[in-house]
Amino acid sequence: MTVDQNYLRYPRRRPGYDHDLYAWSDMHRRPPIGWPGGKALAIWPCIVAEFFPLTPTDTPFRAPGHMQTAFPDYRHYTARDYGNRVGLYRLLDAFEKRGIKVSVAINVAVAERYPALLAAILNGGHEIVAHSTDMNGTIDGSVSADAEAAIISDTRARWASIGQAPAGWLSIARSQSFRTADLLLQHGFTWMADWPNDDLPYRFANGIINLPLNHELSDRQIINVTQASADSYCQQIDDAAAWLADERGRMLPLQLTPYIIALPYRIGAFEALLDRLVARGDCWFATGGAIIDAAQAASVTGL
């Protein structure tokens, strides 16, 4: 048996991408961004706050970190809940002690279930980023248009009912369909963080801004997936910060999962990392929205 002859045809072999979602651009040829205060590097801490229902629906897939054992998986349910009860406050304390405002990508179910947690985020002056409904609210290319629109509109409506209108969106596992960017725009989101293909924000063809939340630098990737220690994670972030600051005008995203990085035996290393990054003197810590505002003010190509 040989492969179908159509397998050797390439109808979208052309200049640029084989899709029209966004345009190609060499980051190193864009005008450099001057961050506020003349800082070389913008650091974007983005804490995720997640509610894992005890029963995964797997529609269309099971989110990273979700339940793993037969029902009832009290082990993982409570270990994840630790993040919302304990870990997130450790992280907020660490940032607030150093005068840093952060983004929190939060399932709307977390905000509804734990008003004290939402109040702590808002009272600290931090930014809310929409992060779907709960950890069953996953999207991918196999989801129907109606089901996907329902997740996004439901998230929007539930935030509105508690008086919030987040501008940014993070999909669970950064997983989208070909429709997601359009649906987000239709539901009032001006930026998303799902496509980790750049070190700077850029605009999709439909107008929405993508603020890349590099998955390679997330605590989940480094500590859970590659099984590195907290010290190794911190070393890797130190190395990334040094390189990016040297290039100037770059962004370093820090995706932080409270039940991972904020465990008692890891948080100390992370606090020491924050102290080193602050002591560099060339880093501007900011929320996602503030970074986009600064990039737009600097008239970056495509923004």
The answer to whether 3 contacts other proteins (rule: CB under 8 A) is: yes
Of 87 and 212, CB closest to other proteins: 212
Q: Per rule CB under 8 A, is residue 175 in the interface with other proteins?
A: yes
Provide the sign of the torsion angle of the four alpha carbons 251, 211, 131, 174, taken in this order: negative
Q: Which of residues 47-86 bind other proteins (CB under 8 A)?
A: 60-61
256 binds other proteins (CB under 8 A): no
Please give the C-alpha separations between residue 249 and each of 28, 30, 236, 241, 302, in angstroms, as whole numbers: 10, 10, 20, 12, 15
Q: How far apart are CB 174 and other proteins at their closest, in Å?
A: 5
DSSP string, 94-130: HHHHTT---EEEE-HHHHHH-HHHHHHHHHTT-EEEE
Q: Looking only at residues 218 through 247 of this chain, which bind other proteins when binding is defined by CB under 8 A?
A: 225-228, 232, 235-237, 239-244
- Is 206 a binding residue for other proteins by CB under 8 A? The answer is no
Q: Is the dihedral of CA 93, 95, 101, 105 positive or negative?
A: negative
**Is 31 near other proteins (CB under 8 A)?**
no
Of 92 and 222, nearer to other proteins (C-beta) is: 222
Residues β-bridged to residue 256: 47
Q: Which is nearer to other proteins, 156 or 250 (CB)?
A: 250
Question: What values do phi and psi take at 256, rounded to 5?
Answer: -120, 125
| H/E element, 89 | helix 88-97
**CA of 231: how far to CAs of 79, 99, 254, 276, in Å?**
22, 23, 15, 13
Which is closer to other proteins, CB of 119 or CB of 272? 272
Asked if residue 174 binds other proteins (CB under 8 A), the reply is yes
Binding site for other proteins (CB under 8 A): 1-3, 5-8, 10, 12-19, 24-28, 60-61, 140-142, 171, 173-178, 194-199, 212, 214-217, 225-228, 232, 235-237, 239-244, 250, 252
